[in-house]
Amino acid sequence: MAETILLVEDEDGLRTYLKTELEFEGYTVLTAEDGLGALATYRKNQYAIGVILLDWMLPELDGLEVLRRIRKGDDVPVIMMTARDYVGDKVAGLDAGADDYITKPFEIEELLARIRVVIRHQLKSTVATYQVGDLQLDVRTRTPMRGCHTCETLTQRETDLLVLLMQHAGTPVTRSEMLDRVWGKDYDGQVNIIDVYIRYLRNKIDLPDFAPLIHTVRGVGYVMRADDDEQ
């Protein structure tokens, strides 16, 4: 079955072009041209949509608000399309739950590659559970637990990064390995994206009264350990 994509873009020419290219690649494409229309189309087709391509600057509701509303009850992969090339804006989108972003203008091949990555990550979320100390993670639900306490649900990229750390528990993982394994070998963005996502993970899994699990290894990267011992 072809993946269904919800394409939200208010510029008629770009929307038509992207729809044509995506359909040529075999995707089923639903479209919306403003924030309210995006939410209406999403709610009507929620269980069919596999990926959302979401423009930032939209009439009625901007893309960030659309994303926040979708994230209240769904973890469908979302790629933000934005002409805003400021780090602060990108971080705001990631904080709101975006799985990826692409800056306009972009080549269609890059967008297609990013779509394939988020779909592949989604498909990898099979029924598999990882555990380190009192932390458990079911990659299907993306919801970690510390003991009997449920943590905040992770985004797909946060899940991929946490799985990588849990798979290598006790062994430092370098920043370059994190970029290659989670963002892909062709990632050419800022390396400090690793530190941004580590902060996201710590904010979600470091519950009160529970010991921190993700430790910084200076000059190397990060390591997950079920204790506070220095390495």
Q: Which CATH architecture has domain 4-123?
A: 3-Layer(aba) Sandwich (3.40)
User: Are 5 and 27 contacting, i.e. CB atoms less than 8 angstroms apart?
Assistant: yes
pLDDT surpasses 50 at 126: no
CATH of domain 129-224: 1.10.10.10
CA-CA-CA-CA dihedral for 157, 203, 150, 216, to nearest 10? 80
Same fold, 4-123 and 129-224: no
pLDDT surpasses 70 at 79: yes
The pLDDT, as a whole number, for residue 215 is 95
H/E stretch holding 50 reads strand 49-55
Against a cut of 0.75, is the pTM above it? no
How high is the mean pLDDT of the chain?
87
- 182 vs 11, which has greater pLDDT? 11
Sequence spans of domains, the chain: 4-123, 129-224
